[in-house]
Structure 1
Amino acid sequence: MQKLIITLVFIFLINLTLQAQATLKGTITTESGEPLPGATVMVDSKGITTNENGNYAIADINPGTHTVKTTYIGFETQTKELTVENGETATLDFQLISSSEELQAVEITGRREKSYKNEVSFAATKTATPIKDIPQAVSYVTKEVMADQQAYRVNDIVKNISGVNQFSYYDDFSFRGFRSGETYINGLRVLGLFGPQPLLANIERVEVLKGPASAMFGNSAPGGIMNRVTKKPLYESRNAINFTVGSFNTLRTTADFTGPMNDKGTLLYRLNLAYENSDSFRDLQDFKSYVVAPSISFLPTEKTRINFDLVITNFDSKLDRGQPIFGATAGTDLNSTPISFAIAQTSDFQVTDVAYATLSLNHKFTDDFSFNASYMRYMYEEDLQEHRTSNQFAIDGNGQPIPTLMGMQVITRQQQWVADNLSTYFLYEAQTGPASHKIVAGFDYNEQRQPVGNAQSFARGYRLQGGGVSNSPADFPNFLRDDNGNPVPNVPHFNLEDPSYNVARISDYVFDESPRDPTKYYNYGFYVQDQIKWNDFQFLVGGRQEFYVDVTNFNQADEETTTQNKFLPRLGVVYSATDNVNVYGTYTQSFQPQGLASQTDPNAGGPFDPVTAYMVEGGAKGEFFNKNLAANLAIYYIENNNILVNANDPGNPDLLTQRGQEVAKGFELDINGRISPNLTLTANYAYNVAEITESDNPEEIGRTKENAPLNQGGFFGKYHFNSGALNGMGLTFGSTFSSARNTFEPTLRLPEYTIFDAGASYKVDRFNISFLVNNVFDKTHWVGGYSYVRLYPGAPRNYLLSVGYSF
């Protein structure tokens, strides 16, 4: 009996205890309402991490008052007091505030948001600064926009950035009417190579810092710089694979894997893979390329953080030099040849291999004092054979151009470039009375070199009667003639009316060998910058002393060094007009020495003075719809001096000339983010007057610059159904427009265009199926162009079908 009583009492106590325990559940989100998977929630000694939807549930909590704490690296820790009663199921939600500005000064870990809106830029100020607080226009495209537009290259996404348009098919753009310069990856300058364009599979976002940026980056183009930010590891596991098929025999696949490698989350990884095999609407053009991009972040303590990126890419195709049309004497009809028309031969090729590795370090000595460093080694190799236009039409027996016969040349080239880029700086945060300071002092070094063994050869011009070839008008009487009395070309002319494609017999051509002497170019600079916050004002004051060094005949007996230097100031102010809107103003300068190739080429006509520019800009930046939507307005004036352009000399296609001055002025608007939980949007508009204001050629003065539209813009939106019969469905719709643009030919102008894109998607469980039609109404248009012999048409109507799985 005694044992029975004890057993019953024990069962009663257990039951009472179970009934007395409570359950706590809730959701952890960011400021913008995005769920935070992997966040830690602690109640006393009990802890749990949130699932992929940011939800958590903790059972067996004793009744009473408890302190609930939630943490997530990169966000401020939050604690709340909660009282629970017997058997209660309590709900407690948290909205965490990003602390990325204090966490890291270089991008060691990845961006967690899944939005068209981006919060922070590192490149614009060398520190993690909210874009709203940067006194200069910064436009961007996030990976979410890229995914919804099924974009694979930068040319596919520049339509989302105000004031930016294609100049050609290469890695070559116009920023506010000024041609782009070198490429930047993670804020580090790499080689300015005109293509081919790398795939976007490992890119987190593309951002453009508008206007002169020399105070941050040294020599840079006056219209702005484009910075490509690679994907970094995340603290939570995210894995995705995607397959795409479409028009032009397109086949693509990508994979993205990321997450922690140990239980403590101090070692993170990311692996991006991509492969493409596709044709083009352009004759003889195809794309075979792949990317392998692993990344590792090591965070041993809260004070030391290290990231290593490796990117390996390969491209195997032909170099597309654009569409030729009939010459000026036959009129300026852009439709005289089809947009698919390309000049090349079947056996042409371009094979490039690019590999670059980046090592980044962020170490905090104290909460207010840190050291930051990034180093990149970038290597580029190219093997090229191409038939291309000689930039002029064939001539008849009287020396007059034949508008339907294209003069040709053949280039074979093997080259290698190596670039080293080092960025180091100290960051100190201080308080002086009511003002806070974020002081940056640093040193940058960038080096680019061509080692021994680079060479190229040219076959061009006309055969001479006594042997050999020439392209000089002075030799016209001695040109060898055919049965019709016309000069005999070294490389057969290309008949625009009756094109012929063959396996070229390279041995039939007379080549001029052109070995390239080893060269080296480097620049380095010291800079100081202070971001001052005082009441509702923020001031940005900085200066950079930059040195530029060109070395010709590097490591040879006749090595020669040329050095230039320049001090570059930067001033900016931001005023918080309301809680949601900041207004700003800025003044910046740029300095850009002419490239070594143009300075040393005996046919170019140099040497040439450096390019100098300055900009005055003002505007407003705001956040709306509960800070889910960002809108940025910029008004600017840029003056640029000493610009190099082709002289269009028929006797010397390599001859360059230098303009006196160009001016660009206008305004831009960018909108990115979410209007409602169902509707996301990116939109932009630019009004830009870019004119030649000084020139040795009086006819150029007042003329609009090449590939610089007066009006351009567009939008792209996605509406997602999350309830009802259409639950899981998504609809996308977008439009892009551009006004007419000039080329380098005064009589040739590219027409205005407006194109539309539309698509639909369906997400069920972890699967997502997307279908997109680009250029729905099959509008014939041109995205850029040089002259009658080199135009760049946009793609006709085409579709992409994508199937993805996330796990």
Structure 2
Amino acid sequence: MHNPSRLTPLSKALMLSQMFRSRPSMAAMGLALCMPVAGQAQETVADDSNTTGTVNLAPTAIDSHYLGTSTDGTGSYTTGAVSIGKGAPQSLRETPQSVSVVTRQVMDDNNLTSLSDVLEDTPGITFQYRNFGGHVYTSRGFSLLAESFLVDGIGGQGYQITGWMQPDMAIYDRVEVLRGASGLLVGAGQPGGAVNLVRKRPTAENKFSITTRAGSWDQYRVDLDGSGKLNDSGTLRGRMVAAYDDSGSYLDGRDSRTPLLYGIVEADLSDDTTLTMSLRRQEQVINGYSIYGLPRYSNGQSLGLSRSTNLAQKWNRHESDMTEVFTEVAHRFNEDWTSRTSLTYSQGGFDQNIAYARGAVNPVTLAGSNFQGTLFRKDEVDSVGLNSQLEGNFNAFGLEHQVTLGADWSKQDANTHQATVTRRTAVNVFDVNENAFAKPARPAWQNDIDTTEERAGLY
């Protein structure tokens, strides 16, 4: 049998509510709700023999933790501040646009391993593939072009992001997506918005993780992430991230391999100055690569082909690579004023050889589609971006003001080589032969295009 003296306040409340169940009046309900508090107070002051009608409550402490900007390792689905654009990080409430933040926890929960995965999961953003390995992202009806993409708030690297290879998300802490005109925060660009990829940084505590994944169509992936201090005092910290993705595809004869290596080091040169340096190397090889979709009957009707149909030859191939070096010096003058200077240099490109098929199919003869030729293309891009800013607070006219002064500059040099070998070979779209003909030798480059884009600004 239960001992009433050992009942908890909650148990007493439940007993009282049972007693008053026959007459569920508002007064009875109010008494039942109040009793746990009274019972708890009586237990707290049970040793006080003087009943004066007052209750002495024990001291109460309320602890609050402000969310920082970093989301890695926090398990958070939001961030305390965003760093997209110029100036100091500011809260979402203080950012004069609609902003979504895809944190590290969201990427891990939803298995978002590429930028296209992230943006497809972001409200208001649409994504579609484009020929030659490019990608088109759209926000509020406008395409997000190269200048709309930032890395740690620095522009000049967007061509690699939109041009040929999806950035691997293993090295990023979060992705900040701003929808709407971004000129105030980013500078000249498209009115659709801007995307800022924020790198992972070293941590003061030692940690290491291994993540493995497996999925449909023979998709396998492993991620390694290690971080911690490199000396006893903790003034030197480092982080290393490695990933390898080996994936098949729903398309026949198509598969890809994507290795990634990323290292970053932070050194406290003094109590107020920190030097950061990082290196990223990412490669990708896609076999069975194609640039066109499937044909239709000449009368416009669908061929009813399986979605796995791939009009490519076995030797169709797309190879891409990217090497990126990042350096940053941050200095704190006092509690109110800080400066940050960042430099990013990247070099990359892609190499393609693609047999492509086109042509409507005659509904009677089932002929009409042909491999029309082989395209050879090689792109190379060198990019550099520099940003330097001073930010701080000061009091004037009885108010505290925040000011940011800075300058940025970026330059991209791109070179495109292209050649085509014309050779018409009939293709049976209902039973594609991936070895219909051998890969031809690449002729001399027929097109050689050089482009340079340079941007500079003060803010």
Q: TM-score higher than 0.5 here? A: yes
Matching residue of 2:457 = 525
Matching residue of 2:217 = 248
Aligned residues: 389
TM-score by length of 1: 0.45
Note the C-alpha offset of 1:327: 5.0
Note the C-alpha offset of 1:92: 11
Q: Confirm whether residue 229 of structure 1 aligns to residue 229 of structure 2.
A: no
Q: Confirm whether residue 309 of structure 1 aligns to residue 278 of structure 2.
A: yes
CA–CA distance in 2 between the matches of 1:493 and 1:223?
Answer: 43
CA–CA distance in 1 between the matches of 2:256 and 2:445?
Answer: 29
What RMSD, in angstroms, separates the aligned Cα atoms of the two structures? 2.9
Q: Confirm whether residue 366 of structure 1 aligns to residue 330 of structure 2.
A: no
Note the C-alpha offset of 1:395: 9.5
Matching residue of 1:781 = none
Note the C-alpha offset of 1:447: 0.4
Secondary structure at 1:281 match in 2:
coil
Structure of higher RCO (CA pairs closer than 8 Å, 6+ residues apart) = 1
Matching residue of 1:660 = none
CA contact (8 A) 1:295 1:309 kept: yes
CA–CA distance in 1 between the matches of 2:325 and 2:122?
Answer: 28
Note the C-alpha offset of 1:456: 1.6
Taking a change above 3 Å as real, the CA distance of residues 450 and 267 of structure 1, as seen in their structure-2 partners, is same
CA contact (8 A) 1:316 1:349 kept: yes
CA displacement 1:105-126 (0-9 Å, x = unmatched): xx8x875522122221111343
Secondary structure at 1:157 match in 2:
helix
Matching residue of 1:329 = 299
AA of the residue aligned to 1:445? W
CA contact (8 A) 1:303 1:363 kept: yes
Q: Confirm whether residue 441 of structure 1 aligns to residue 405 of structure 2.
A: yes
CA–CA distance in 2 between the matches of 1:156 and 1:450?
Answer: 27
How many percent identity over aligned positions? 20
Note the C-alpha offset of 1:323: 3.4
Matching residue of 1:458 = 420
CA–CA distance in 2 between the matches of 1:374 and 1:96?
Answer: 33
Of 171, 181, 184 in structure 1, the residue corresponding to residue 145 of structure 2 is 181
AA of the residue aligned to 1:427? E
Note the C-alpha offset of 1:358: 0.9
CA contact (8 A) 1:310 1:355 kept: yes
Note the C-alpha offset of 1:317: 1.1
Taking a change above 3 Å as real, the CA distance of residues 282 and 439 of structure 1, as seen in their structure-2 partners, is same
AA of the residue aligned to 2:264? S
AA of the residue aligned to 1:455? H
Matching residue of 1:141 = 102
Secondary structure at 1:450 match in 2:
strand
CA–CA distance in 2 between the matches of 1:114 and 1:322?
Answer: 41
CA contact (8 A) 1:404 1:497 kept: no
Of 421, 440, 444 in structure 2, the residue corresponding to residue 507 of structure 1 is 440
Secondary structure at 1:345 match in 2:
coil
Note the C-alpha offset of 1:418: 0.4
Note the C-alpha offset of 1:157: 2.7
TM-score by length of 2: 0.77
CA contact (8 A) 1:327 1:393 kept: no
AA of the residue aligned to 2:342? S
Note the C-alpha offset of 1:214: 3.2
CA displacement 1:598-648 (0-9 Å, x = unmatched): xxxxxxxxxxxxxxxxxxxxxxxxxxxxxxxxxxxxxxxxxxxxxxxxxxx
AA of the residue aligned to 2:154? L
AA of the residue aligned to 2:210? I
Of 426, 435, 446 in structure 1, the residue corresponding to residue 390 of structure 2 is 426
Taking a change above 3 Å as real, the CA distance of residues 253 and 321 of structure 1, as seen in their structure-2 partners, is same
Note the C-alpha offset of 1:442: 1.3
AA of the residue aligned to 1:127? A
CA–CA distance in 2 between the matches of 1:119 and 1:320?
Answer: 43
Q: Confirm whether residue 209 of structure 1 aligns to residue 188 of structure 2.
A: no
CA contact (8 A) 1:430 1:436 kept: yes
Note the C-alpha offset of 1:291: 0.6
CA contact (8 A) 2:310 2:432 kept: no
CA contact (8 A) 1:421 1:447 kept: yes
CA contact (8 A) 2:72 2:104 kept: no
CA displacement 1:704-751 (0-9 Å, x = unmatched): xxxxxxxxxxxxxxxxxxxxxxxxxxxxxxxxxxxxxxxxxxxxxxxx
Note the C-alpha offset of 1:237: 1.9
Taking a change above 3 Å as real, the CA distance of residues 283 and 365 of structure 1, as seen in their structure-2 partners, is same
Note the C-alpha offset of 1:517: 4.2
More strand by share: 1
Matching residue of 1:199 = 168
Secondary structure at 2:334 match in 1:
coil
Secondary structure at 2:440 match in 1:
helix
More helix by share: 2
CA displacement 1:672-703 (0-9 Å, x = unmatched): xxxxxxxxxxxxxxxxxxxxxxxxxxxxxxxx
Of 182, 189, 210 in structure 2, the residue corresponding to residue 220 of structure 1 is 189
Matching residue of 2:353 = 385
CA–CA distance in 2 between the matches of 1:117 and 1:203?
Answer: 15
CA contact (8 A) 2:75 2:105 kept: yes
Secondary structure at 1:420 match in 2:
strand
AA of the residue aligned to 1:113? T
Note the C-alpha offset of 1:93: 8.0
Secondary structure at 2:170 match in 1:
coil
Of 378, 403, 411 in structure 2, the residue corresponding to residue 414 of structure 1 is 378
**Which runs of structure 2 are paired with 1:398-409 in the superposition (5 Å)?**
405=369, 408-409=372-373
CA–CA distance in 2 between the matches of 1:227 and 1:327?
Answer: 44
CA–CA distance in 1 between the matches of 2:67 and 2:273?
Answer: 16
CA displacement 1:514-551 (0-9 Å, x = unmatched): 24244322111112xxxxxxxxxxxxxxxxxxxxxxxx
CA contact (8 A) 1:458 1:512 kept: no
CA contact (8 A) 1:110 1:232 kept: no
CA–CA distance in 2 between the matches of 1:185 and 1:196?
Answer: 15
Matching residue of 1:126 = 87
CA contact (8 A) 1:110 1:233 kept: no
CA contact (8 A) 1:124 1:134 kept: no
CA contact (8 A) 1:329 1:403 kept: no
Secondary structure at 1:245 match in 2:
strand
CA contact (8 A) 1:291 1:314 kept: yes
CA contact (8 A) 2:295 2:359 kept: no
AA of the residue aligned to 2:164? G
Note the C-alpha offset of 1:394: 5.5
CA contact (8 A) 1:330 1:403 kept: no
CA displacement 1:284-332 (0-9 Å, x = unmatched): 221111111011112233421222121111101144435314157233x
Matching residue of 1:559 = none
